[in-house]
Each structure stands twice: as C-alpha cells, then as structure tokens.
Structure 1
Amino acid sequence: MKIIVISDTHIPGKAKKLPERLLRELSEVDLIVHAGDWQTYSVYEEISEYGPVEGVYGNVDDKEIIQRFPEKKIIEAEGWKIGITHGHGERKTTEKRAADAFEMPIDCIIFGHSHIPMLRYKGKTLLFNPGSVTDKRKLPYYSFGIMEVTKQLSIKHVFYSDKM
C-alpha cells in the first residue's frame, strides 16, 4: 500500500496550485493523508481526484474543511495504527503536542504545523512531519512523504526545490 503524506498546503496563500512533483506521485497512490492547513476545500477536491483521502483540519483551515475533517483521527493500514493530527495549539512544541494527542499505543503519528520535515521515534512510536509542499520556512527544500505499508512500515521524505 502506497500512501502520500502531505501537510500545510496553504493554497491559495502560499501557492496557486499543488506542485508538479507532488502531482506525479499522486498518480500512483492507494491513499492520501493530509495533516491539516489545507486552507481551502478546493485542495481536498483536487487531491481526492487521485485517490481516497484521510485528513484532519489545521489552524488556518476554512469552515468547509473543519466541517469535513476532525481535529485528530486514527486510521488503520495493513494492521498498523496511524494517528493524524495537525499539531497546533499552545504551550509545548509541535512535536510534543502531536505525540500527546494520542493516548493509546500507536505505531505512527503524522503531523504538520511547523513546516519542518521530521522523522524519528519517540519510544516505539514513529513521528513523521512531511514538511510543506508550498512553504518551506527557512529550509532549502519543499517536501512531502511517501509511506509504504506492508508487513513493515516504511516512510521517507521527498525533497524538491521548485514548488511549481
């Protein structure tokens, strides 16, 4: 199972459209996960043309996104429990808020908000922030994630320099 993981698309705020690098990967996908800050519902409409979409809302999303998606959720893929949250809030770091969003044992937590790509374990839980496809915030590259789910859970970042 191939899952594309994105967050912080911020369209139309940071870009007018999704980058071609992302769209190429979306053409061969089983599931798309968006960790919030879509900004507008049109982002959901566009990516849902490529495959099923799971996601959560973030702190800048319009009311259509907030009505369509929860603040956090858990999905199951090939027996793996994957939590999704945006990670916004007060106090603590984004990473800490994301990790604290889920109380039960969970295999992976996908989050966004900081726009900073991250991949590391906290205990037995894999924490993954795909970064942003349109707003790299002081970093040299835009990014998203590709998760391969089989008997193993494998995830990596895709970095690129042109958001068009």
Structure 2
Amino acid sequence: MPSIFRIGVLSDTHMPRMAKKLPNELLKGLQSVDLIIHAGDWSNESVYEALQEIAPVEGVAGNADSEGIIERFGLSKLLLIEGHRLGIVHGHGTKGTTESRAINTFADQKVDCIIFGHSHIPVMKQIGDVLLFNPGSPTDKRRQSHFSYGIIELNNGVLNAQHVFYENKND
C-alpha cells in the first residue's frame, strides 16, 4: 500500500440523462487514486465499468438506480481502509434531512467518515469525531455554482478530505 492512500469520491452521476460520458475534468482528477467510491444514483452500470478502468470501485445504490444496481451494491456499506472506517450511503428517504438520514444510517456503528450523496450539495463538516462528506455531483450541479467530486487522503492515521470544483462537464 502507498504511504498516502487516495480515494476519489463521487455521487449522483445520473448517466446518461445528465451526461453521455464522465467529464474529462473528473477523469483527469481520478487518475492518481487507489480507490473510487460512488455514493449512489449511478443510473447506469456503464458508470461502474468506466470507473473500474481507472481504479477499483466501491459504492452503494441510490433512489434513481435500478434493481440490478441495488442488488450489486446494496443501500449502505462500511469499509475499513487503512484503519479508517468509512460509511457509505446515498441518503435518500422520507424523514429528516439528507444529512440526518446519512448520520442515522451509521448511528450504531463506529465510523470516521460518512460519505453520502442525494442532495447534489457539496458538504464537508465535522460532527464530533465523524467527518460528514458529500462530494456533490460531477454531472448535475443543480443550483450549485460548480460541478464537483471529492478526494479523501488517508495518511498515517490522518484522514483529509477536499472538494474539487469545475465549471464545465463537457471539457
């Protein structure tokens, strides 16, 4: 394993409705990652296949995904990577906010970071010992000013996350 383990984080690709292909800016940014995590609403399994050509892929299904994607990935999962416990969930549902649903999914488990999607709104906030991280969307920014994805770096027991923003999904 490298001394710094890099994870590309994305959600809500909604392909092919929101984009015919993954944006070049995203693909360039993922070239140096060791793992890719997708937090749901792939909308098409071709997204998995394209990402798998870059790095191993983990993920969960969202509310816009088919039964096949739900069966393949499940609705939530907990990954242990480099000593860090990463919870992944899309965050859809009917009670509370997207953030509260994501937090409640892992309420009975020890996690260092909860990765979620659904809202298309980039979020990075610390709640106690847990980092809450939504990468936004690389293809469907909705009311956001930019398209986005995330990078999480695990380095000697330290977890650092950042958003990567860009303006054009077609470049």
> Considering the TM-score relative to the shorter chain, is it more than 0.5?
yes
Equivalent of 1:163, from 143, 166, 169?
A: 169
Q: Is the 8 A contact 1:41 1:62 kept in 2?
A: no
Q: CA RMSD in A?
A: 0.7
Q: Which residue of 2 aligns with 1:154?
A: 160
> Cα distance, 1:29 vs. partner?
1.3
Q: Once the two structures are aligned, what percentage of the paired residues are identical? A: 54
- The equivalences for 1:44-83 within 5 A come to 44-83=48-87
Q: Is the 8 A contact 1:144 1:158 kept in 2?
A: yes
* Structure 2 residue runs without a partner (length 5+): none
1:123 and 1:2 mapped to 2: Cα distance?
A: 23
Task: State the secondary structure of the residue aligned to 2:102.
Answer: helix
> Cα distance, 1:61 vs. partner?
0.7
Q: Which residue of 2 aligns with 1:115?
A: 120
Q: Count residues with an aligned counterpart.
A: 164
2:111 and 2:163 mapped to 1: Cα distance?
A: 21
Task: State the secondary structure of the residue aligned to 1:147.
Answer: strand
> Hey, which bits of structure 1, 4+ residues long, moved more than 3 A?
none
Q: Is the 8 A contact 1:56 1:72 kept in 2?
A: yes
> Cα distance, 1:64 vs. partner?
2.2
Q: Which residue of 2 aligns with 1:30?
A: 34
* Structure 1 residue runs without a partner (length 5+): none
2:17 and 2:66 mapped to 1: Cα distance?
A: 12
